[in-house]
Structures are given as C-alpha cells and as structure tokens.
C-alpha cells in the first residue's frame, strides 16, 4: 500500500445562522466536532451556547441547505431524514467538549436499566456536563463537580456508559451514566488546565494532557476537591523537565506512566484503532507517536510551515498544533495547526502526504467509516474534506487484529522473528 498524495477537497461547509440576542459572554468558536460511533449523527458546537445535531449521512446539496438554516431554540428542526430530526440544543453556556456514547452493551442489565439510548455529552464553560438523548434532544443529566471549564470528554467505546471529563480545574472525573450519572472517581495529578482526554479503544487506558512540565513533589499543591468522592493520591513526581501527558489505567484508575517529550503544552491526543499507538499534539509544532505500553517515542512529526501557503510571518509558532486524530483503519493521521493548514500523514512517513488550506482551524475528526474529515473553526463553521481511502494490506489487517488483544510486551515474548516483532509493534511499517 502506497500513501495517497491526493489533496483533500472541500466537500461542504456548514455555517451557523445569525444568533438572536445571546449573552455577551457567548463566543462563536467551534471548539469540538463529533460523529456518533455508528456514523449516524454529527454534532458541532457552533458557538453562542448552541450545539447542532444532524442525522447522517446527508447529501452535499442538503449540507449546503443546512448551512443556510438558522437554529430556533432547543426544538427539533422541521426537516427530518428517515425519522431522525435535525436539532439545536441550547446549552446555556459556551460549549467546549462533545462526545457521543457508544450504544449500551447488548445483554448488559445495568446498562439497559440506566440508559438504553444514544447520548451526547456536552462540556460547558461553567463546569457542568449536560448529557442529551440524541434521538429526542431531551436533557438526561446535568453532571456537577468540576469547578471550571470542561474542556474535553471521552466515552468508553465498549458501551459501558463510562464517561471521562477533563477540566481547567486540573482534574479528570469519571462518571457512570448507567447509574444515573454517578461520579465514581476523581483523578488528580495535573498542575495546569487539562486540555484533553482519550480512552483507548480496548478501554484499558486513558490519556490526559495539560499545559505543564513535569515538576518536583515540593512544587505540587493539591487541588481542593469535595470529600464526598474518592480522590487518588498523587504518585511521586519526576524532576522538572519536558511537557508531559499522563497515562492512566481504566481498570484501577491509577497512574501508569508519564509521557515526557514535548517542549510546550500538549493540547490533543488520540489512540490508534488497535490501541497500540498513541498520538499527542502540542503547541511545540510536533506530534509524537508513542507506544503506550512501554512509553517509548516511536516517531515525531514536525509541522514545518509551507511558505507558499502562508501570507504572514513564518515564525515557528504559526505551526502550533490544535488537534490530532487517527483514521478509522489506523494508517493515517490528520492534524490541524495554526498555520492555516489541515495535514494528512501516512504512519510510515515523516512528512505529510496531503494538505488543505483552512482558516483558524481548532479541531478535526474522521468519519467513523473513513473517506472524509470534519474540521471546526474559530468562526463557528464546520468544513468536510475528502480523505484518502485505502485498502489495508493483509499484513496491516493481521497486525491490527493481533494488537487489539496483545500488548507490546506480549508481542515481544512471542517466539517469532525479530523483524516480525518490529512490524507488529510499529517499529517498522
């Protein structure tokens, strides 16, 4: 399989209608976009405290019409597709994070009793998390506990209805929606705002990242938290050094390791579909690919400004990263940076295979079945771009299947040739 060099093509763009009188504190940024795991719904925080929910797929012509329609409160729009109606959710606060749940696991009596519908979680400016039923647009839960902006959200992909939230209050919180949204754990250890969180597809690990360097134990001050909920003790901190992301166990909610390597704040992270790789993106203009099981840095993707594509200074900070995500088959990465470019990278290469010009990009996400990417911008717009469609090689399919249940250490213990081990652990491609 050779990486595609075809440039992304803009398929469509959604624009919010002009809002009516909203609170002056509201902003227009699209901080987050999300597809439901089955690809049936799309959501974006279109600014002014609103989230737009759109049934999927829509034809390009319908997308263009949707971009011209205006939201009217929290009621469902008149148009519908296959019984599913487009909706505008009034959240009452600026919306930073979005996450769809997976459908509750089949045969799970607890899940069926607690919540048996597709849900969308919204992280708000005042620390609340509002959880909505997607099909009806009804508010299911208001989760309280965070003391500042909820910047990111991540549902466990296995349908257990476990939700993790990351906040500027320097904590991560774990919620169980199958038990009426009960808060089950508070994870502390970050010294600064927590920008992002991501649960691995196998639900064994959680990555979180903040704008901080590793610090000495004497420099740490505990985050004031309610004594009602258990709070994990902070493990011994390493000496002052590079920026770090934290890796946690989703089974015990304990810290596994710190991933140190970036030179500035880590603002986005994503696991590969087989959980064997972790990508972190930073303001230092780099994406680092890690082996989450060993903590080893496998590859660094540096975002060098394309002078011909820029109409302003080529200072290195213009390439500060905003977002990173893996493609569904696990062979590509998409990144959004401050240099007005969407980049698509092939895992085996250290340079992008495709670029697309975009203005003021903030976030990106692949469609769950591949083929295109959604990006959000500072002006509240969403753009949909073509992405490389690739037929995975039999070798990669075998690697992906094996790595969904074998850790790096288990692969290294197999009685197989060294070159095969290097391939299975992504040391070679």
pLDDT at 224: 33
- Cβ(353)–Cβ(22) below 8 Å: no
Per-residue pLDDT at 110: 47
- Tens-digit pLDDT profile for residues 45-96: 987 889 999 998 765 444 444 444 433 333 334 344 556 789 999 999 999 9
How far are the Cα atoms of 275, 400, 424 from residue 410, in angstroms, in the given order?
14, 14, 11
CA distance 131 to 71: 20
pLDDT of residue 263: 87
Positive/negative CA dihedral, 360, 38, 275, 99: positive
Where the chain has pLDDT below 50, the residues are 1, 22-26, 60-80, 109-113, 215-240, 308-317
Per-residue pLDDT, 83:
64
d(CA 90, CA 70): 13
* 421 φ/ψ angles, rounded to the nearest 5 degrees: -65, -40
Q: Tokens at residue 309, please? A: 């594509």
395 phi/psi in degrees, rounded to 5 = -60, -45
- Decide: 190 and 210 in contact? Cβ < 8 Å: yes
H or E stretch including 367? none
Task: Write down the pLDDT at residue 106.
Answer: 54
Q: 20 CB contacts (<8 Å, ≥6 apart)?
A: none
Distance CA(406)–CA(416), nearest Å, equals 14
β-partners of residue 352 are 345
The 10s digit of each residue's pLDDT in 329-380 is: 999 999 999 888 999 999 888 788 998 998 889 999 999 999 999 999 988 8
CA 96 to chain centre: 12
Backbone phi, psi, residue 217, to 5°: -60, -35
Query: What is the length of the chain?
Result: 429
Give the C-alpha distances (Å, rounded to integers) separating 280 from 131, 175, 318, 354.
Answer: 27, 24, 18, 20
Cα torsion angle, 107, 113, 116, 122, sign: negative
Report how far residue 21's alpha carbon sits from residue 3's, in angstroms, rounded to the nearest whole number: 48
Gap between the Cα atoms of 344 and 339, Å rounded: 14
SS3 319: helix
Total Cβ atoms within 10 A of residue 222: 10
Nearest CA-CA partner of 40 in 75, 8, 83: 83
The whole-number pLDDT of residue 19 equals 53
Cβ-contact 333, 279 below 8 angstroms = yes
| CA distances from residue 147 to 39, 70, 126, 169, 259 in whole angstroms, order as listed | 33, 32, 7, 6, 26
pTM of the model as a whole:
0.84
Question: Cβ distance 384 to 374 under 8 Å?
Answer: yes
């Amino acid at each position: 399989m050779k990486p595609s060099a075809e440039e992304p093509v803009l398929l469509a763009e959604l624009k919010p209608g002009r809002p009516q009188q909203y609170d002056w504190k509201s902003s227009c940024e699209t901080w987050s976009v999300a597809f439901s795991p089955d690809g049936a719904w799309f959501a974006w925080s279109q600014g002014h405290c609103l989230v737009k929910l759109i049934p999927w797929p829509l034809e390009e012509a319908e997308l263009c019409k949707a971009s011209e329609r205006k939201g009217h409160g929290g009621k469902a729009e008149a148009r519908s597709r296959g019984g599913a109606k487009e909706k505008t959710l009034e959240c009452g606060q600026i919306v930073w994070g979005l996450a769809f749940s997976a459908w509750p696991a089949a045969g799970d009596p607890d899940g069926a009793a607690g919540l048996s519908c597709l849900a969308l979680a919204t992280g708000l400016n005042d620390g609340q998390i509002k959880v909505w039923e997607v099909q009806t647009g009804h508010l299911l839960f208001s989760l309280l506990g965070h003391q500042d902006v909820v910047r990111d959200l991540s549902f466990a992909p296995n349908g257990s209805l476990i939700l993790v939230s990351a906040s500027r209050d320097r904590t991560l919180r774990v919620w169980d929606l199958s038990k009426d949204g009960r808060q089950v754990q508070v994870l502390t250890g970050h010294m600064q705002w927590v920008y992002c969180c991501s649960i691995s597809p196998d639900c064994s690990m959680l990555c979180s990242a903040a704008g901080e360097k590793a610090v000495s134990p004497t420099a740490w001050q505990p985050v004031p938290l309610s004594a009602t909920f258990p709070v994990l003790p902070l493990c011994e901190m390493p000496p002052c050094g590079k920026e770090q992301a934290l890796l946690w166990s989703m089974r015990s909610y304990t810290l596994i390791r710190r991933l140190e390597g970036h030179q500035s704040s880590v603002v986005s992270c994503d696991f590969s579909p087989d959980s064997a790789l972790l990508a972190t993106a930073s303001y230092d203009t780099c994406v680092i690919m890690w082996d989450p099981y060993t903590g080893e840095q496998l590859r660094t993707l540096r975002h060098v400004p394309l002078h011909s594509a820029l109409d302003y200074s080529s200072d290195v900070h213009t390439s500060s990263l905003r977002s990173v995500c893996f493609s569904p088959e696990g062979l590509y990465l998409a990144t959004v940076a401050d240099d007005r470019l969407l980049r698509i990278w092939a895992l085996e290469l250290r340079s992008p295979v495709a670029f697309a010009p975009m203005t003021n990009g903030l976030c990106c996400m692949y469609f769950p079945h591949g083929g295109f990417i959604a990006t959000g911008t500072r002006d509240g717009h969403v753009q949909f771009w073509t992405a490389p469609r690739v037929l995975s090689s039999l070798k990669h399919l075998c690697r992906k299947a094996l790595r969904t249940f074998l850790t790096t250490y288990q692969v290294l213990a197999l009685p197989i040739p060294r070159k095969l081990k290097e391939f299975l652990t992504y040391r070679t491609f």
